[in-house]
Amino acid sequence: MTIKSITSLGVDVSKSSVTCHILIQYPVGGLKTYWQKTRTKASTLFPSFYSSPNPKRNQKSAFDFADYVRDSSVDVAILEPTGNHYSRVWAQILESLGIKILWVGHIELRRYRGGKNLPNKSDEADALAMAAYPQDQENYLESGELNERQFLMHRPEPIDHLRELVQQIEHLNRVQSPIINYTRQMLAWQFPEKAHSKTESTKPGNVPPLWGWLAQRESEVHSPSYKSLTKKYQKSIAFLLGLEVDPIVRLHADWLCDIDIEEQRLEAKLKPKVFDEQFQIYNQIFDQFNFGLRIRARLLSRIYPFEAFLTNGKQLIEREVREVKKKQVSRENGKSVVKFLPGDIKRVKRNRSRDAFKLRIGMGTVLEQSGDKLVEVGSGSALCRMTFWQYVITKIEIDGRLPKNPIGEEIALYRDTLKNQVDASGKQLLNGKHLQNKLMSKVANILFRELSRAIAVHK
């Protein structure tokens, strides 16, 4: 596909609608000039279509969208991955019409739109930016072919299904948290001896003992556990005082039982997908970190195929020139040596492949404008970032939890080195979130390194 042969459709997806724009060539004079000329004709040049149109407002439907695309002889459609659910029906319509779909990342689109001086928070401007993206010469190879590395790689169907299962499990986690909190508050006076006790199902098909006992689902609870809870309740101070278990507590417990059974069903579907033969290399690396099932699923759904982060099978390492903002000093032979002064220019290496990898798993950073300053903020998958944080506090910060292998030893040594950094008074310099963020970044860097080595050997 060459630049002279593309009719591109930009599709900005909202919660219940899409805004579209079509370009047959990159606008002469630039996007800003084009935008200023066309924005007053938004209703015709930037039509909107609704998944649930309001007839009183004469809104166009998804059927009208299909007719619009068919009549426009579109070659390629560009979408932003605004949630699997919001974009799914529109992507399915495009696929049914035989339209090639290219996905542009959130960060890439934001930078592109900003670089073209298009307004922010405008559906029409977003649609225009997406339509122009495959028309822009910057996104082409020297041969004149569209450089598809400028777009998100299409994920295989197993990865899409795996990601959907992960999202469903995480949704159930979020749903049950407030239910558990309220139930435990009620139990504080209705069954105080068990109000804050841990309860988990240990056998597939069974529910957590406490919730099953409260919900009176005896057949789904391990028999000895059910009898033990009954005896403990009969000896409870609440029972002796005549304080009965409220029906709303039993209702909440019943919900928690249903959620647990559904989580078991989803994990049963998730496990064979995660340990599928095509992910064998990835799982061999994950084994060295002692990652659990859900962590593996979250990571796979975002980093597969790993080759997408490489260039011709190798890491893309570039050098860039940077102005020094703060005096940099190092210690050599017991003396302080000034390496750079403010205003000096230095060349630094940037591993673009690793940066892209870390951004995808929530461990990257981007620069954002805040007043008259540029602020570095965390970016990428918040869910994956939470996963790394949980790994740090449950496996790294607790002695004896790291795997007994070279990777575990490397992480432990790095952790101890950070903790041993003290000031003149002997106070530890790194604590809390600062220390945890350093450890999270270290784990991400090691994971990238090990995957790079494994994929290179496999190739």
Per-residue pLDDT of the chain (459 residues; tens, 9 = 90+): 555 568 999 999 998 899 999 999 999 888 999 999 988 888 889 999 999 999 888 899 999 999 999 999 899 999 987 656 788 899 999 999 999 999 887 778 888 888 888 888 889 999 999 999 999 888 888 887 887 778 876 666 678 788 889 889 989 999 999 999 999 999 999 999 999 999 999 899 999 999 999 999 999 999 999 999 999 999 999 999 999 999 999 999 999 999 999 999 999 999 999 999 989 999 999 999 999 999 999 999 889 889 888 877 788 888 777 777 777 777 677 677 777 777 777 777 888 889 889 988 988 776 555 555 555 666 677 888 888 999 999 999 888 889 999 999 999 999 999 988 887 777 888 888 889 999 999 999 999 999 999 987 665
Q: Per DSSP, what are the bridge partners of residue 50?
A: 17, 61
As a whole number of Å, the CA-based R_g of the chain is: 28
Q: What is the pLDDT of residues 450-459, one digit of tens each?
A: 999 998 766 5
Q: What is the pLDDT of residues 212-270, one digit of tens each?
A: 999 999 999 999 999 999 999 999 999 999 999 999 999 999 999 999 999 999 999 99
Q: Which one-letter DSSP state was computed for residue 75?
A: S
Residues 6+ apart with CB under 8 A from 396: 402, 411, 412, 415, 439, 443
* Angle, in degrees to the nearest 10, between helices 293-303 and 157-190: 140
Q: Per DSSP, what are the bridge partners of residue 76?
A: 8, 100
Phi, psi of 377 (to 5 degrees): -125, 150
Q: Which residue has the tokens 């592109």?
A: 112
d(CA 72, CA 300): 38
d(CA 118, CA 35): 8
Classify residue 243 by burial, with Cβ atoms within 10 Å: 0-12, 13-18, 19+: middle
Q: What would the DSSP string read from start to end of 244-297?
A: PPPHHHHHHHHHHHHHHHHHHHHHHHHHHHHT-GGGHHHHHHHHHHT--HHHHH
d(CA 329, CA 306): 37
d(CA 128, CA 158): 32
Overall pTM surpassing 0.85 (yes/no): no
* Residue 305 preceded by cis peptide, ω within 30: yes
Nearest to 250 by CA among 203, 192, 187, 193: 187
| Distance set, CA 442 to CA 361, 436, 449 (Å) | 13, 10, 11
| Cβ contact 103:95 at 8 Å | no
